[in-house]
Amino acid sequence: MTSNEMTGGEAVARMLQAYEVGPMFGMGGFQLLPFYDAARRLGLNHNLINDERCAVFIADAYAKVSGRVGVCDATLGPGATNLVTGLVEALNAGSPLVVFVGDTHRAHSWKNMTQETRQAEILRPACKELIRIEMIERIPELVRRAFAVATAGRPGPVVVDIPEDVCHATHPFEVTEFEADPALAAAPALRCRPAAEDLARAAEMLAAAERPLMLCGGGVHLSGATAAVEALAAAINLPVAHTMTGKGAIACSSPLSAGLFGRYDRIANKLIEESDCLLVVGCKLGEIATKRYSVPAAGKTVIHLDSVAEEFGRTFQPALRLWGDAREGLADLAAALAGRAGAIRARRQGYVDDVAGRMAAWRRSVEPRLTSGERPINMARLLHELNRIMPEDGILVADGGFAAHWGGLLYDTKKAGRGFVPDRGFASIGYGLPGAMGCALAAPGRPVVGLTGDGGFNMVMGELETARRLKLPFTLIVVNNAASGYVKALQHLIYGAGSYQSSDLVEVNYARVAESLGCRGIRVEDPEQLAAALAEGLKGGEGPTLLDVVVTRDPAQMLPGVDNRTVQVKKGDRVA
C-alpha cells in the first residue's frame, strides 16, 4: 500500500473530495488553515462568506433542494458560536449538513487562549451529533461517521470539532483510507418500512373513510416522496393539505390540493374538521401547523406516518402509528389498496369535486386583494404577480416571519417537488438572501427568487457581495414596509392602533444599496410595475437582482390573516 504524509487539514479535504461534496462556505482562521490550503490545491469549491450564520443557511438551502449533504466551516470562538442559529434551523428542519469547526490547541486549552470558549458545549444541543477529533489518524473514520449520521433517520447537522494541533499535525495516511460510500453523500441514506400489519390496518381505515385527508409536512420532501403522494392521492381520490415546508407535496393547482393548513389556511382547516380519517405524513404537527394545537380537534382519527418514532404522540395521539420512511410507506399503502382503488376513487368523486369547488370559491373570494391596485403595494398583489410569472421549475425561498406566512398561504407551486423553501425549522429572519444563494447553487438553471423583509435583509446584506463574487443569478425581493412587520402587526392586533414599540425602521432605498454593492437594483412603488420588474429579475445574468418593493405601511394589513394567538378578533376572521 502507498502512504502519503499529510496534515490533518488535508486529510479532511481528501475525505470531502471522496464524497464529491458541492460548494462549501466558511471564514477561515489559523486553526483550519491546513484545510484551506489543501482545498486550494485539490480544487475543492470552497468560498469565503461574510458571516458564519449565512454559511450554514446557504448549506441548509443547498441540502434542502439538492438532497445532498451541505458543508461549511468556521474558526473557533466567535466563528463557532455564530453557527448556532443556522445549525438549529438544520436540526429542526432535518437538513443533512457536515460542519467543521476549528478549536484550540490542546496543549494550551484553558489558558486564556484568544477566542477560546466552551464551544463544544455550546454547539452540542444545536446539532444531531458533535464529533471531536482527538487523534489525527482517526480523521477518515470520523468524517465517515459524520456523513453517516447526517444522512440517517431524520437527517440533520453534524459538527466536527478539530483542535488546532490535530489540523496542523502530519500523519502518513494510506491512500485506501480515503474511501467513501457515495450513498452517504445524500439523504436519506437508509430507509425503513412500516410493519406489514400496521400497513394493512391503515389501508382498511383509508378504504372505509368517506372524507379522508392527507396532511403533508416537510418530511415528504426529505424522503423524496412527492411522486408517492401524487400516486396515492390520485389512486383513491385522497385530497392533500400541507404545512409551509410541505408545500409542493402535490401541485397547488391540482384538484386534490386543499392548500395550507394550520395558523393560516385556505379551506383545509374546515376540511380537517369534517374529515373522518387523517393521514399525517412527515409532519411533526407543531404549533403553526396545528393552529396552536387546536387542529385537528381532539378525538379525530389520525394515522401518523413518520421515520422518527419520537414524534408520535408528541402533540396529538394518533389512532395508528406507521414507523417508516414516507416514500416507502406511501408506496406500500398504495399497493395494499391497489385492488380496490378504482371503486374507492369512484365513491369519493363527489367529495373531491366539493374540495375543488371550495378552492375555486376561495380564489374568487380573494381576487380583489390579489389584483389590488393600492399604493403602497398590497402583499397579496405581490404574491399574485409572482404566481403569474414564476415558471413551473421555479423556486421561491421565503424568509422567516411574515414572508414565509404570505408565501405559504398564497404562493402556488405548479408541480410537485421542492419549489418552496421556507426556513421553518427555526423561523429565523435573515434566511432569504443566503437561502436563495444555496438554492441557486443546488439547482443551476432553475429560476430562484428570494422573499425577505427589510429587517431580515438588514441582517445579512453583506452577502450580496458574496453572491456577486460568485455571479449567482437569482432575484431577491426585499419587502420594504419600514418595519419589523410581524411584530408591528401583532402589536396592532393586541394593543391597538398606535401602540408600537421598537418595531419601526428608517426608510431605506434598498435598490441603491444593491447598486452600491455592484448588483442590479430595481425599486418598485407601483403595483403595475411588478410584472415588468419580476420579468427583469428572472432574466438572470451574472449576479443577483434586488427588487425593493414598497408595500403597505398599515399594520392591520401586514399579515395574511389574523394570528391565532391574538384574542381581540372574532374566531374565523381572516383576510387574504
Task: Say if 458 falls within a structural domain.
Answer: yes
- Give the whole-angstrom CA distance, residue 434 versus residue 58: 5
| Residue ending a domain, choose from 185, 219, 237 | 185
Task: Say if 225 falls within a structural domain.
Answer: yes
Q: In 361-468, where do the E strands start and end?
A: 395-398, 420-422, 448-453
Instruction: Looking at the structure, tell me whether residues 169 and 39 fall in a common domain.
Output: yes
- Give the whole-angstrom CA distance, residue 105 versus residue 169: 11
Task: Say if 574 falls within a structural domain.
Answer: no
Task: Say if 178 falls within a structural domain.
Answer: yes
> Rounded to whole angstroms, what are the CA distances from 437 to 158, 380, 383, 448, 543?
22, 25, 21, 9, 10
Asked whether the beta carbons of 468 and 519 are under 8 A apart, the reply is yes
Task: Say if 567 falls within a structural domain.
Answer: no
Determine the angle formed by the axes of helices 8-18 and 33-42, rounding to 10 degrees. 40
Instruction: Looking at the structure, tell me whether residues 492 and 540 fall in a common domain.
Output: yes
Give, as one character, the DSSP assignment of residue 377. B
Asked whether the beta carbons of 100 and 27 are under 8 A apart, the reply is no
Number of neighbouring beta carbons within 10 Å of residue 575: 12
Asked whether the beta carbons of 423 and 448 are under 8 A apart, the reply is no
The residues, ordered by sequence, that sit 6+ positions from 88 with a Cβ below 8 Å of its Cβ are 126, 425, 426
494: left (phi over 0), alpha (psi -120 to 50) or beta: alpha
- Residue keyed to cell 414524534: 311
The residues, ordered by sequence, that sit 6+ positions from 274 with a Cβ below 8 Å of its Cβ are 211
Cβ burial, residue 297 (10 Å; 0-12/13-18/19+): exposed
The residues, ordered by sequence, that sit 6+ positions from 152 with a Cβ below 8 Å of its Cβ are 187, 188, 189, 190
Asked whether the beta carbons of 157 and 97 are under 8 A apart, the reply is yes
CATH of the domain at 49: 3.40.50.970
Instruction: Looking at the structure, tell me whether residues 155 and 215 fall in a common domain.
Output: no
Task: Say if 562 falls within a structural domain.
Answer: no
Task: Say if 126 falls within a structural domain.
Answer: yes
Cβ burial, residue 118 (10 Å; 0-12/13-18/19+): exposed
The pLDDT of residue 440 is: 98
The pLDDT of residue 564 is: 67
Core vs surface per residue 431-447: b (16+ CB within 10 A) or e:
bbbbbbbbbbbbbeebb
The pLDDT of residue 575 is: 39
Instruction: Looking at the structure, tell me whether residues 170 and 59 fall in a common domain.
Output: yes
The pLDDT of residue 402 is: 83
Structurally, the chain folds into a number of domains equal to: 3
Domain that holds residue 458: 371-557
The pLDDT of residue 566 is: 62
Give, as one character, the DSSP assignment of residue 555. G
| Averages of pLDDT over each 10 residues, the chain, 576 residues | 88 98 96 98 98 98 98 97 98 98 94 90 98 98 98 97 98 96 93 97 98 98 98 98 98 98 96 98 96 96 97 97 98 98 98 98 96 96 98 97 92 98 95 98 97 97 98 97 92 92 96 97 98 95 96 92 58 41
Instruction: Looking at the structure, tell me whether residues 351 and 377 fall in a common domain.
Output: no
Task: Say if 191 falls within a structural domain.
Answer: no
Instruction: Looking at the structure, tell me whether residues 150 and 172 fall in a common domain.
Output: yes
Query: What are φ and ψ of residue 24, in 5° steps?
Result: -120, 150
- Give the whole-angstrom CA distance, residue 382 versus residue 390: 12
| Residue ending a domain, choose from 185, 216, 241 | 185
Instruction: Looking at the structure, tell me whether residues 23 and 144 fall in a common domain.
Output: yes
Amino acid 231 reads A
| Residue ending a domain, choose from 293, 326, 356 | 356
Instruction: Looking at the structure, tell me whether residues 202 and 180 fall in a common domain.
Output: no
Core vs surface per residue 50-88: b (16+ CB within 10 A) or e:
bbbbbbbbbbbbbbbbbbbbbbbbbbbbebbbbbbbbbb
